[in-house]
A and B are shown apart, each in its own frame.
Chain A
Amino acid sequence: MGISVRNVTKAFGSFVALHDVSLEVPAGELVALLGPSGSGKTSLLRIIAGLDPADTGVILFGGEDATRRDVRERRVGFVFQHYALFRHMTVFENVAFGLRVRSRAERLSEREIGQRVNELLKLVQLDWLGDRYPSQLSGGQRQRVALARALAVEPKVLLLDEPFGSLDAKVRQELRRWLRRLHDEIHLTGVFVTHDQEEALEVADRVVVMNHGRLEQVGTPEEVFEHPATPFVMNFLGNVNIFHGRVESGKAHLGPISVDYPEHPDAESRPAAGYTRPHEVDLARDESAGGGLWATVRGLNAAGAVVKLELDSQQGVIQVEMARDRYEGLHPQLGERLYVRPQKVRVFVAD
């Protein structure tokens, strides 16, 4: 079941969390709401769930207007950032909760409830922990219980609020992959909120980048990473090197570097900046290839699969990442002057 968000605005007193936001979540897709703190992503998720009301706008579930519906009626599975497990109930009772509070007409027999709960616990690989209390589980285990509990009521939509935020790095990675595999298995429409761009790019079918209550860009992980629509998106999704300059007559002049920029054919000169990722920069010992600038190596970190360098130039600090074999071939030294050649520059004009 797909979700449509149309023209939603939300303010808390004088703080505007969402400005006229519209978004389509196609059925069966896993969508990430990505952005820094205060970008409005959690507010949007909670409005979709019905936990907070929108000031204006509509929410449609499968084409039906759900805006007036109470959270109880929306049949969403919501997984909270801090799990919100019922402390005084066992894992089994937590997962069974949604099934047990149903009206008599809809309720399953205890035996059927037991079967369903055990199936779900097996799905999340916690079937051996049914009798434990949340306080006896690790963070990763609690998260999976919260997920099982949300899935028990067979929701049309799964909503997750920073699901892996409070976990260790290693556990986070495992659970990320596990969530992706789970989604591939059950094909539930899902929306999750995260501030971790690596997580969004790795897990989601579609990424929605948000900033200050507005959508910056919506696209597949590859689209937003390779073809960022705005400087914010580019900056947020990874490290960048910025070269300041101007555009005029179809060309961008960024210090000693010049690139074609047909989007601005006018002769009128406008300020602009060129953005390059650290791995899209090559280093050389001479300037025969052209299109670059000289810089001095000020920092070198060779520990890891990727070697990181920091160089000082007249355009500021430049960060470079290069593969190990390239590093071993070039063998740059601290203090050495090298020619920096950006391979790919995205130009954004100031407006």
Chain B
Amino acid sequence: MQSASQLARRAKTVRPVTEPPFVRVALTLLAVAFLAFFLIVPLAAVFVQAFEKGVGAYLAAIREPDAWAAIRLTLLTAAISVPLNVVFGLAAAWAVAKFEFRGKNLLATLIDLPFAVSPVVAGLVFVLLFGRRGFLGPWLMAHDIRIIFAVPGVVLATLFVTFPFVARELIPLMQAAGTEDEEAARSLGASGWQIFSRVTLPAAKWGLLYGVILCNARAMGEFGAVSVVSGHIRGLTNTLPLHVEILYNEYSFQAAFAVASLLSFLAFGTLIAKSWVEWRSREPERVRDGLR
């Protein structure tokens, strides 16, 4: 419990024991310059190049049928990967966060595995499994099932790469929440699903939302893994990032940047959504500290 003066002191942000003003200004300028150089300049380049030939050319590039097919595939991939990984994330977080069992640490490490794997390697393993010369290749060909160089391959590769996102957000959150609330609900007679939906999920909602935002951003933006498995078949197996690559490689720079700008809007949306979730999830803390 903090006294009124302690709280008041914390609310004040200037401390006397800090760097002299000119050092503060210099460091701030240095930090902002670094970020501007590495982040803002590239972002600006995307939009400048996209509109280089005017708004008309920009819209034409976006309305192009192949671009639309790419948008559809990107959305489809995300629409499949994100919910599946959410279900997985919830199941994994429930098991890991609320129970003590042998091999828990190993499981947590395995869940993190896709993070450690290069996207190209991720694509490679699916080619090894399902490609024409892969382990299951002959069997798949015999049954006329195409995974590599077809949409299923794109979805699988995306699933692999975005696998940990939701689980990684939920697990520490649910672990920190402990099991007391759930045990209390049990003692009051709630069933498993009731406990989950009425007690656990509401407490974890911001973490879940955060994980969904990150998972979605990665699912829509994934390049390396998808590049390996898709075969770059225009209008069929190209996601938006792959379409950007194709346009760029055939020197249609303005069109490439126009499509890239769509992905940049996605990035902005992601950043805004992230900030909003962070702000909302800190509300209870601020009320408790009496700063509202």
Contacts and interface: CB of A to CB of B under 8 A. Distances in A.
Given A37-B3, A38-B3, A13 B16 contact: no
Given A37-B3, A38-B3, A17 B17 contact: no
Contacts of B11: 12-13
Contacts of A38: 3-5
Nearest to B3: A37
Most B CB contacts (10 A, CB to CB) among A12, A15, A50 go to A12
A70 B17 CA distance: 9
Interface string A6-28: 00000011010100000000000
Nearest to A46: B9
Most A CB contacts (10 A, CB to CB) among B4, B5, B8, B11 go to B5
B17 to A, nearest CB: 7
Contacts of A71: 16-17
A12 B9 contact: yes
Contact of A40 (B5, B12, B16, B17): B5
Contacts of B8: 12-13, 15, 17
Contacts of A13: 8, 11-12
Contact of B5 (A43, A50, A51, A70): A43
Interface string B239-261: 00000000000000000000000
B12 A12 contact: yes
B7 to A, nearest CB: 9
A52 B16 contact: yes
Interface residues of B, number: 9
A77 interface: no
Contacts of A40: 5
B35 to A, nearest CB: 30
Nearest to B1: A37
A50 B15 CA distance: 11
A13 B13 CA distance: 11
A37 B224 CA distance: 60
Contacts of B5: 12, 15, 17, 38, 40, 42-43
Interface in A101-151: none
Interface in B200-234: none
A278 interface: no
Contacts of A53: 16
Nearest to A40: B5
Nearest to A18: B5
Interface string A310-340: 0000000000000000000000000000000
Contact of A51 (B3, B4, B12, B17): B17
A334 B16 CA distance: 60
Contacts of B17: 51, 71
B155 to A, nearest CB: 49
A51 B14 CA distance: 12
A59 to B, nearest CB: 14
A43 B17 CA distance: 15
Most B CB contacts (10 A, CB to CB) among A15, A51, A71 go to A15
28 contacts: A12-B5, A12-B8, A12-B9, A12-B11, A12-B12, A13-B8, A13-B11, A13-B12, A15-B5, A15-B8, A17-B5, A17-B8, A37-B3, A37-B4, A38-B3, A38-B4, A38-B5, A40-B5, A42-B5, A43-B5, A50-B16, A51-B17, A52-B9, A52-B16, A53-B16, A70-B16, A71-B16, A71-B17
Interface of A: 12-13, 15, 17, 37-38, 40, 42-43, 50-53, 70-71
Given A13-B8, A15-B4, 7 more contacts: A12-B9, A12-B11, A42-B5, A43-B5, A50-B16, A52-B16, A70-B16
